[in-house]
Amino acid sequence: QVQVVESGGGLVQTGGSLRLSCAASGRTFSRYTMGWFRQAPGKEREFVASNRWSDGITNYADFATGRFTISRDNAKNTVYLQMNSLKPEDTAVYYCAASELLIATLKEAYDYWGQGTQVTVSS
């Protein structure tokens, strides 16, 4: 099993940056695809980015491409989400999740979820 805890959320102005962190427990962290999702009020939880454990290949939602970067440090059992050029529409609770699957852009593919961290982008 893997337990994940997110941190790094906060309030930022439009155009600003934040780096979210997700600390995972478990000896086999390196064998989990790690993903970030977000959920805005009244909306479905949506995929943001993922990092595949087997080869490090990353996937991004269209809105994240070019602005967000997912990375992981297996030695620290941590995955990051660097978010730049933030917009008010990026305001949401951001969740970190772990999946045993290689293709993991769907929330149904993830077995382990954190509690989320709030990101608020002011206009």
pLDDT tens per residue across all 123 residues of the chain: 889 999 999 999 999 999 999 999 976 878 899 999 999 999 999 999 999 888 889 999 999 999 999 999 988 999 999 999 999 999 999 999 999 988 789 999 999 999 999 999 999
> Do 36 and 81 meet the contact criterion of CB atoms below 8 Å apart?
yes
Q: How far apart are CA 109 and CA 19, in angstroms?
A: 24
CA distance 59 to 47: 10
Q: What's the distance, CA 15 to chain centroid?
A: 19
Look at residue 2 and give its three-state secondary structure. coil
- Rounded CA-CA distance 66/78 in Å is 22
Identify the burial level of 32 via C-beta atoms within 10 angstroms of its C-beta, where 0-12 means exposed, 13-18 middle and 19 or more buried: buried
